[in-house]
Amino acid sequence: MAEEIIFGNLAFLIWLIPILASFIVLFLGKFVDKTAHGNAIALAAMGTSLILTLLISGQILFLLLFGGLDVEYGHPLLEKSFSILNWIEIGSFKLEVGVLIDPLSAIVSLMVSFVAFLVVVYSRSYMSHEGSPRYYAEILLFSAAMLGLVFSPNFIQLFLFWEIMGVCSYLLIGYFYDKEVVPEGQPHPASAAKKAFLTTKVGDVFLFVGIILLWVQTHTFDFIELREAHGIEPGLLVIIALCIFGGAVGKSAQFPLHVWLPDAMAGPTTVSCLIHSATMVKAGIFLVARSYFLLFEHSEEAILIVALIGGITAIMSGTIALVKTDIKGVLAYSTISQLGYMTIGLGVGGMAVAVFHIINHGIFKALLFLSAGSVIHGSGTQDIREMGGLKEKMPHTWKVMLIGSLSLAGIGNGFFSKDAIILHTLYKAQLSDFGPLIWLVWFSSVITAFLTAFYIFRMWFLVFPGTNRNPEHHIHESDPWMTGPLWSLAIVSLVLAGIYFLGNIPVFNIGIPLLNFEHRLVEWLEGPWLYELPHIDLDLTILTQVSSIILAVLGIGLAYLIYYPRSEAQVSFIEGDPSFTIEVPESSDSITKMQIGMRSIVRKIKISPPGRGIQRVLETGYYIDNLFLGLVYFIYEYYCEAMNWIERNIFDAAVRFTGRVGYELCGLSKWWDDHVIDGLVRLTAKASVALCGLAKATDERVIDHGIIRNSAKGVMKTGGYLRRIQTGVVENYALYTLLGAISLIIITIIVAGVIPL
């Protein structure tokens, strides 16, 4: 069936086009689209990427739904890897750049490209005054990195896009790096960007170590090949899985590395939307989902830690969101809490329910953040205590934000995925060997469901109903460039809720099997790797669904009683007061009286010493930031002081000792040079002089006077004797010749032995 993916070989263009467009916008944006800073180029690029995603991922979903694919253990329902080019080739090792198309990448890429496109559309108006080609270049590269990560066929390509995303988040969070004044209590964008970059790098180190350890054991980075790799020691497998999860803890803002995400709100709201809904924080969850059946399925201990971290993160962030007064701050901690839900899903129910919540959360959180941007744009403030009464002036924004708030609270499309996570947690607690710990995770998820409904409607009731608490603000509705994406997301959220409802009607547990998306996801994503799909009792399902609805209604109801500003009982805030005051006329209806009683109880609790203490703990985020800062200061003050002492008393002393030893060695060397080396030189010189004198005497007295002169005298004497023989008389020469001949004959006879001697 993989060969039927018609446009599969073009999947790399989904992330390549935005990358190329980012450079075009950066260098040519101010010339091509002067008024909108290059928004037109960004729209064209992301629009093309979205269309390609719809063609490829849409076909994958169509084949999964109607292709008649049967689940077979160990064989993916639909999977195809396309190679683009050879990246590294050393001997037998080869690493390729390519794309991996399967149900997981198809589902997640649809959400990412859709949200990213709407953010670019929304930015045309929202960033009309503060935008720049740099902004759109970074947005395009940011979106492309997430899409490239989703389609990566191996860990190295995934890690490359992972790091590109980290750099883009640093640039976008610090987009207003030159801002001189920031509101009280908010971090400076430059500081927030550095904090996000450094905090996530802690997780990146763990991820890198995990990838290297995996390579050492398997000699491959490819996801498909890794599924076939066996023989990793169980203890080492746990370490590798936890290292991979360490990367997710940093990127997806899980406890204790969650501290960077609230400060990331210092960037533009559009950036916050992308980070929280479609990119960055979803990358960590996707990473664990992608490697789930490579590592985590075989490591019960690692899975347990994943679930516990998710449970801690969910309830901790949910309680912090209760006291936040910055509208983006409430949504930020809400994101961390919902990411905790996804992590719980990975830890107890497999990857399908976590991916299910990724999709739903991506839609309604994008809706909430863009709605918050519209609120900020229309009211001129981020403080919900200064809002109120925006409903009349912003007729579109309040409706779409209500849809998003209901989804987050567990009434809309968010109900189904959140309920699935709680249900699988309950199911896992009954079967796991670590039952008591999983029960704690389940309890955390249930309490968080109630808190979520409460704090999101606390925000909504303080922002839209009633009268404006700051009449100086000129409130106005956003233009169609902003409301268009809002309604698009709201409609998608409602459509998804309708599909889920028809596929699995809550409580009655009946519906159209084809539209039972939760079951479909379990079958597509987990089915090939499970001998048997989980079968959860109908009674357990009904109990979870009913309790989830009751918790959501109770949370919304409590928020209504405390914060809904009825005309008879307005809520007002006083600077420095941790609570709120109530202005109530003498005559009021029964509901208002109930509100008065509830608000009085809450106010008494909040202004009491324990209440103020709890308020302070929540406002400071359980002092985790302070703990990290204290650790940094401790290292700076004590560790650095210790290093200074060691430097002065050990290293400097060693240097001084070495210097003294060197000085003494230099003195010894000087003495050796003066008395030994120079003495030898002088002795050698004297010996040389003596030898030279001897040579001179030998030359003059022996050679010149002895040998040469005496030889000359001998030659002269011999010549004198021979001169006497040279008479010039022929008869004498004949006589000499005869005597010589006779002498030769006699010598010859003697030599021949004729005459013995």
Q: Give burial (CB, 10 Å; 0-12/13-18/19+) of 229.
A: middle
Per-residue pLDDT tens over the stretch 319-378: 999 999 899 999 999 999 999 999 999 999 778 999 999 999 999 999 999 999 999 998
CA distances in angstroms from 387 to 362, 595, 741, listed in the order given: 26, 20, 152
**pLDDT score for 585:** 56
Give me the pLDDT at residue 580, please: 57
What pLDDT was estimated at residue 475? Answer: 87
384 sits in the region (left: phi over 0; alpha: psi -120 to 50; else beta) called: alpha
The pLDDT assigned to 334 comes to: 96
Cα separation, 409 vs 415, in Å, equals: 8
Strand partners, 97: 85
| Mean of pLDDT values over 286-297 | 91
In this predicted structure, the answer to whether residue 98 has a pLDDT above a threshold of 60 is yes
Query: Are 358 and 108 a contacting pair, CB within 8 Å?
Result: yes
Tell me which of 736 and 397 has the higher pLDDT. Answer: 397
Q: At CA 522, angle to CA 441 and CA 56, rounded to 5?
A: 125
For the chain, percent helix, then strand, then coil, each to nearest 5?
Answer: 75, 5, 20
Structure tokens at 105: 């990448």
- Averaged pLDDT, 126-132: 89
For residue 751, what are the CA distances in angstroms to 116, 679, 748? 125, 67, 5
Instruction: State pTM to two decimals.
Output: 0.84
What does the DSSP assignment read for 230-253? ----HHHHHHHHHHHHHHHHHHTT
When pLDDT is cut at 50, 70 and 90, the band that residue 755 belongs to is low
Residue 221 has a pLDDT of 92
For residue 43, give the amino acid letter. L
508 three-class SS: coil
The rounded mean pLDDT for the chain is 88
Share of the chain above pLDDT 90, in %: 50
Whether the CA torsion 39, 41, 44, 48 is positive or negative: it is: negative
Q: Hunting for tokens 């009633």 — which residue is that?
A: 466
The alpha carbon of 367 is separated from its chain's Cα centroid by a whole number of angstroms, namely 25
Q: Looking at this protein, which amino acid is placed at residue 499? A: I
pLDDT at 753 over 70: no
CA distance 129 to 38: 13
Q: What is the mean pLDDT of residues 468-495?
A: 90
Cβ(197)–Cβ(170) below 8 Å: yes
- Place 566 in a pLDDT band, splitting at 50, 70 and 90: low
Q: Is the pLDDT of residue 234 over 50?
A: yes
Is residue 2 over pLDDT 50?
no
pLDDT, position 575: 59
Buried residues in 234-249 as b, exposed as e (16+ CB within 10 A): eeebbbbbbbbbbbbb
- Pick the residue with more confidence: 380 or 242? 242
Rounded alpha-carbon distances, angstroms, from residue 660 to 649, 655, 663, 674: 16, 9, 5, 21
Average pLDDT value for residue range 658-671: 88
Instruction: Summarize pLDDT for 499-513 with one digit per residue, the tens.
Output: 998 887 755 556 777
Distance of CA 238 to the CA centre of its chain: 21
The lowest-confidence range among 8-17, 85-94, 164-173 is 85-94
